Chains A and B, each alone.
Chain A
């Protein structure tokens, strides 16, 4: 059953005016440019991309932490962007977020107890701080501590406990493990998987690291310059990516195996600015696909289904002939 349905989501940031606010405005930054996907109840969608791809903006706009430019987000059929503030507050109980940096997202003047107590009181819930801490694998003694007394992994567990406190159905996990060391990262990923199984949670898992996403996602969507360029079941996208950007991204992940014989595709050039995306396929200036043609430079490839029988979507004119 579909829990979250995102339809043609657009978020543009107005360009700054030149000459100290007096001149012509710069072109808008098209951070998110027509993104659509659905997530079924109890599943995890991994949203992957490099800096500036718009993945974080998608997560924040879905929760209305930022207002969209256009588009729709349906949560159990209810239009999130049409709610008044009272209804939105009720809905926020059911949609939560875990941020990347657990240090800047916890109030340094509040103890763990106070941080976790607050949502319980606001929403008049019966949960206890002790039970929440236990659920995220922290000793009850942590309730008295302040964020600066905790390690990165412990802080992230508190961030997760805070999200869980209001008993949400859906959690946006925005790079929840990228600030953590490898050994602790594994602890937090396993915790997120356990919580999902126990509480039947639905996740949007935003990350730049394809290897991390491999261990948590059921389906993966890859973003480039504000657009989804590929979206497929996880096993399929890792085994046979259909978009050359996904192929290059996968091949660029350093593999912890000195005998790996995989050929590495090194993309040339930088990611273009989302204020001035290239015409045609936005990836064409960096694309290593041998079939790249004039068509790529002029015609924007739509995100369309590749006939694999599993709902594999790719925005490439040559998705049937993957690299």
Chain B
């Protein structure tokens, strides 16, 4: 666990990624002025429910959002080691993508190429970025398979993705991402498609590799349990906005935004007596039609007239917490409702 002391490795400022929908239904403001920093060696969690913009945020960083229909608006900044990734030529971006910033995805079967062996797919990045010979790249791929805990790596290297189980495929994807020793690993729901015992294996593997290789990890997830056990700091997203940021322990001990509070209360827990769960009423609004004012106000138990009229900025709530909520300025209103 690291406390950010040095300069940020990756700075995201006012990121806006919009999608133009068909049939003139308007523009989906999927990611709307998102800002955060990622420091060397830390794990930053981005947590939120479907449609909150967490995946589009992660895709935007490496400019993997399909254009059209998507586009990243001018004024957005994604700065990696002092360079704005959004302003780079495709060639320059390619030298960073998969090399210094790598990514793993939720669905290993659809992210691996079914017609190439796993060895070829792992070696490819090493040949392109590190100019290794085929033979050296193959040795490197075997070493990577061993690193991610695949038994008999010198045989597995010639296997195709369909010959592997879901957990093994995810290990291969991690090996592919880490072959160039990236400084930043973006992991988008890396364990969501896996069974819980396999999820535990993969999360343990990622923790160990991070310690060993010293990279920064951006962990995108909907699972607050994963956030609690595997991140240093957390960004909570709702309706395309960052609604709260905090150190992980602080977020769970003192959730400040009512959405975070509601989400934590809604999580079923194994070690709790059987009880009724707290539910957040209503559902996430559509990205083409975010509510006025605070985007959470229609579902918020504390909302008052100001919340519908005026959207709060991210306010400093002390102890490293920020929250996009007027309760920070009027805390006495928190007592008013259940």
Which residues does A use to contact B, with CB under 8 Å?
A: 50-51, 151-154, 181-187, 189-190, 193, 208-212, 214-217, 234-235, 238, 248-260, 262, 264, 266-268, 270-271
Instruction: Please list 9 pairs of residues, one from A and one from B, whose beta carbons are closer than 8 Å in the complex, sorted by A's number.
Output: A183-B266, A184-B279, A190-B276, A211-B268, A211-B269, A214-B272, A215-B274, A258-B229, A270-B167
B201: Cβ under 8 A from any A Cβ? yes
Instruction: Considering the complex, give the chain A residue whose CB is closest to the CB of B223.
Output: A254
Residues of A within 8 A of B225 (CB): 253-256
Contact B269 A181 (CB under 8 A): no
B335: Cβ under 8 A from any A Cβ? no
Given the known inter-chain contacts A264-B200, A267-B197, please indicate yes or no for A189 contacting B268, CB distance below 8 A. yes
How far does the Cβ of A262 sit from chain B's closest Cβ, in whole Å?
A: 8
Contact A238 B279 (CB under 8 A): no
In B165-196, which residues have CB < 8 Å from any A CB? 165, 167-168, 195-196
Q: Quick one: which of B229, B266, B278, B284 contacts A260, CB cutoff 8 A?
A: B229
Q: Quick one: which of A182, A184, A217, A250 contacts B270, CB cutoff 8 A?
A: A250
Instruction: Considering the complex, give the chain B residue whose CB is closest to the CB of A267.
Output: B197
Residues of B within 8 A of A267 (CB): 197, 200-201
Q: CA separation between A253 and B224, bound complex, in Å?
A: 11
Instruction: Considering the complex, give the chain A residue whose CB is closest to the CB of B265.
Output: A186
Contact A186 B280 (CB under 8 A): yes
Contact B249 A182 (CB under 8 A): no
Contact B197 A249 (CB under 8 A): yes
In B264-308, which residues have CB < 8 Å from any A CB? 264, 266-281, 283-284
Residues of B within 8 A of A248 (CB): 197
Q: CA separation between A215 and B200, bound complex, in Å?
A: 22
Q: Which of B203, B268, B274 has the most A CB atoms < 10 Å from its CB?
A: B268
Which residues does B use to contact A, with CB under 8 Å?
A: 49-50, 165, 167-168, 195-201, 203-204, 222-229, 248-249, 252, 262-264, 266-281, 283-284
Contact B269 A256 (CB under 8 A): yes
Residues of B within 8 A of A262 (CB): 271
Contact B284 A181 (CB under 8 A): yes
Contact B279 A186 (CB under 8 A): yes
Contact B229 A153 (CB under 8 A): no
Contact A182 B196 (CB under 8 A): no
Contact B271 A182 (CB under 8 A): no
Residues of B within 8 A of A264 (CB): 200, 204
Residues of B within 8 A of A249 (CB): 196-197
Contact B196 A252 (CB under 8 A): yes
Contact A256 B228 (CB under 8 A): yes
Given the known inter-chain contacts A187-B279, A214-B268, please indicate yes or no for A256 contacting B274, CB distance below 8 A. no
Q: Quick one: which of A50, A154, A214 contacts B196, CB cutoff 8 A?
A: A50
Given the known inter-chain contacts A208-B195, A249-B197, A256-B224, please indicate yes or no for A215 contacting B268, CB distance below 8 A. yes
Given the known inter-chain contacts A252-B197, A254-B226, A256-B224, please indicate yes or no for A215 contacting B277, CB distance below 8 A. yes
Residues of A within 8 A of B222 (CB): 181-182
Instruction: Considering the complex, give the chain A residue whose CB is closest to the CB of B251.
Output: A258
How far does the Cβ of A158 sit from chain B's closest Cβ, in whole Å?
A: 14
How far does the Cβ of B118 sit from chain A's closest Cβ, in whole Å?
A: 16
How far does the Cβ of B32 sit from chain A's closest Cβ, in whole Å?
A: 19
Instruction: Considering the complex, give the chain B residue whose CB is closest to the CB of A253.
Output: B270
Contact A255 B200 (CB under 8 A): no
Contact A186 B278 (CB under 8 A): yes
Q: CA separation between A244 and B200, bound complex, in Å?
A: 16
Contact B276 A257 (CB under 8 A): no
Residues of A within 8 A of B262 (CB): 183
Residues of A within 8 A of B204 (CB): 264, 266
Instruction: Considering the complex, give the chain A residue whose CB is closest to the CB of B52.
Output: A181
Residues of B within 8 A of A235 (CB): 273-274
Contact B195 A51 (CB under 8 A): yes
Instruction: Considering the complex, give the chain B residue whose CB is closest to the CB of A211.
Output: B268
How far does the Cβ of A5 sit from chain B's closest Cβ, in whole Å?
A: 25
Residues of B within 8 A of A209 (CB): 196, 268
Instruction: Considering the complex, give the chain A residue whose CB is closest to the CB of B193.
Output: A51
How far does the Cβ of A182 sit from chain B's closest Cβ, in whole Å?
A: 5
Q: Which of A50, A154, A235, A254 has the most B CB atoms < 10 Å from its CB?
A: A254
Contact B197 A183 (CB under 8 A): no
Contact B274 A234 (CB under 8 A): yes
Q: CA separation between A77 and B249, bound complex, in Å?
A: 54
Q: CA separation between A187 and B299, bound complex, in Å?
A: 13
Residues of A within 8 A of B226 (CB): 254
Q: CA separation between A235 and B275, bound complex, in Å?
A: 12
Instruction: Considering the complex, give the chain B residue whose CB is closest to the CB of A193.
Output: B276
Contact B196 A183 (CB under 8 A): no
